[in-house]
Amino acid sequence: MASEDIIELEFKVDQLPIQSRQGCRVLVSASQFSQDIEVGKTEKRFDISSITFNEKVKVFFRLGETQEYKVHLLIYRPDSEDIERIAGETTFNLLNVLKQSGTLTTIMPSENFTLNTVPILTVTAQGGTDQMNGTFLQFSGHSLDPRNRHQIAAYFVLSLIPKGNGMPVILYRSEVINKNSPKWKEFIIPTRYFSTSSEGILEFSCYNFNNNTEDSLIGKFSTSFYQLLRGAGAINKYILHCAAGKKKEEMSIELCKIGSNQTVSSFPTFIAAGLQLHFTISIDFTTNNGNQNEATSLHYQHPHMRSIYGNRLKVVADGLEALSPSSKISLLGFGAKVPPDMQFSQCFAMNGNILNPFCRNLIDVEEYYRRCALSVLFFAPTNYSNVISNVTKQAIAAERSQRNLHFVLVILTNGNVSNVGALKDTCDEIVKASKYPISIIFVGIGNAQHPLRLDAGSKFMQIFSPNLKSTDGVPLKRETAVFVDGSDENTIPLLSTQIFNSVSRQMTLFRLNCA
């Protein structure tokens, strides 16, 4: 599911040179493969003094990439398409435009310019109209039966199941309704998320919420967005299939409402409205990663090469820095005994200051990690609850002070969870975090000697279940934790993109249906 958002750029130029009456336009280019590539251009105008160009230039906003564009003011020869000269040029960063409420004003200098004559450019960035469409949906159930001793307490999960071996993408999880024929509330999904259903199918799974035990599957069915668009009613009424694949013909789910919603904002729109991202990277230092002094270790510190963890850390930190270059990154570790007193900790700051665990730049990130990998004593068990709790507390504080923040926690881990208590603690914290603007991205790291635990029965994979609930029976509110496999060297260039795809989706869906 792509994180690209279409942005429409509008250009206004003041203090135009007198030659602009011969014909002028704005041309936009981007550097690629050591050369400038034309991205788009406005119409040709013959005004003087000031112009607001009607033709907009469309560009893609990509999370985690530094996107700089050059703008050239071209002056044409009279009655000709030949360029006489470049009357001014400047460079702007797309993210910086968005952060300034979507508008940036700057000068366009050329040779021998003065402040009294230099053209003044105003760039306005807005989400493309095709990015603003959402689809609202509402479903109802008929004659639902848990088929066990528990009372009916039905909810559903709508997921996009990609082709191949990709993990399901949870688009929505409904509320629980204690009726055999429930009518769940409406929800909104950005329509462009459905456009990728050609790469997979939409799966609708209906569960019964069971107290003090695992939730049970009532039934499921598969469909496509194009089928849903055929409308509400009998044409989109589905018989449920149970876990064994048998039809339960007396039980069904029906689409009772579908329509277009024009008020859905894209990720860049949220940035332009003042949304800020808060980043934390947390690293697994448990014994499951191998002794850092052995070449097979995932943390092996070679004097001239990055460790496997160090390599992934750089890719992740590069992406975070590109998205928010002025923001600091919080860097935490867990699962080790930490100097100077060598006390065991499941959440410690790599710079030594848990009250201010931030790194100023990418160099700091790599240096603090390397110091920790050489100085801490790897221990066990693997427990993510403390680092998740650390971020959740910050999100709660931000909510109370009404700050417009979304928190991103990236956990680099070997995923070897064996302690039942640690698993319960982690699940409790993920459920708690699901109420707040938080994205938790687990990046799996492994090799032949220290493989990832990705088998279906592993405790680690239970963390990503759509049926997750806390030990006191509180259900997960939405998709909060996702898994990205970073163990394959061939997929490392895609790691940052996969992370930001998840962040963009979770942040958007949270604000549409949970905030």
Residue 123: inside a domain, yes or no?
yes
Round to whole Å and give the CA distance between 166 and 47: 54
Cis peptide bond prior to 437, omega within 30° of 0: no
Cα atoms found within 13 Å of the Cα of residue 427, Cβ hemisphere only: 25
Collapsing DSSP to helix, strand or coil, 131 comes out as helix
Is the distance from CB of 450 to CB of 286 less than 8 angstroms?
no
- Beta bridge pairs of residue 377: 337
Q: Which residue has the tokens 């230099």?
A: 118
Residue 15: inside a domain, yes or no?
yes
Q: Which residue has the tokens 């050489």?
A: 374
Could you tell me the two tokens for 119? 């053209």
How far is the CA of 383 from the CAs of 361, 379, 441, in angstroms? 27, 11, 15
Round to whole Å and give the CA distance between 368 and 481: 26
The answer to whether residues 317 and 420 belong to one domain is: yes
pLDDT mean values, one per 10 residues, the chain (515 residues): 76 94 95 82 92 93 81 95 94 89 93 88 80 87 89 95 82 95 95 71 94 91 93 95 70 94 78 88 96 94 92 90 73 96 96 92 92 95 97 95 93 94 96 97 94 84 94 94 91 86 91 86
Exposed/middle/buried for residue 380 (C-beta within 10 Å: 0-12, 13-18, 19+): middle
Q: Is the C-alpha dihedral spanning 126, 127, 129, 134 positive or negative?
A: negative
Q: What residues have CB less than 8 Å from 81, skipping those under 6 apart?
A: none
Is the distance from CB of 445 to CB of 495 less than 8 angstroms?
no
- Which of 237, 261, 285 is the last residue before a domain boundary? 261
Range of the domain at 226: 134-261
The answer to whether residues 218 and 281 belong to one domain is: no
Measuring CA to CA, which residue among 374, 456, 365, 381 is closest to residue 414?
A: 381
Is the distance from CB of 365 to CB of 317 less than 8 angstroms?
yes
Exposed/middle/buried for residue 463 (C-beta within 10 Å: 0-12, 13-18, 19+): buried
**How many domains are there within the chain?**
3
Q: Is the C-alpha dihedral spanning 308, 486, 372, 358 positive or negative?
A: positive
The answer to whether residues 470 and 389 belong to one domain is: yes
The answer to whether residues 281 and 257 belong to one domain is: no
CATH classification at residue 472: 3.40.50.410
Round to whole Å and give the CA distance between 139 and 125: 37
- Which of 129, 144, 174 is the last residue before a domain boundary? 129
The answer to whether residues 91 and 142 belong to one domain is: no
Which uninterrupted H or E stretch holds 72?
strand 68-76
Residue 23: inside a domain, yes or no?
yes
Collapsing DSSP to helix, strand or coil, 298 comes out as coil
Q: What is the pLDDT of residue 372?
A: 95
Round to whole Å and give the CA distance between 392 and 394: 5
Could you tell me the two tokens for 1? 């599911």
Query: What torsion do the CA atoms of 398, 399, 402, 408 make, to the nearest 10 degrees?
Result: 50
How far is the CA of 222 from the CAs of 159, 161, 227, in angstroms? 10, 9, 10
Residue 216: inside a domain, yes or no?
yes
The answer to whether residues 172 and 197 belong to one domain is: yes
Could you tell me the two tokens for 94? 């797309």
Cβ of 37: how many Cβ atoms within 10 Å? 9
The full length of the chain comes to 515
Measuring CA to CA, which residue among 112, 113, 121, 117 is closest to residue 92?
A: 121
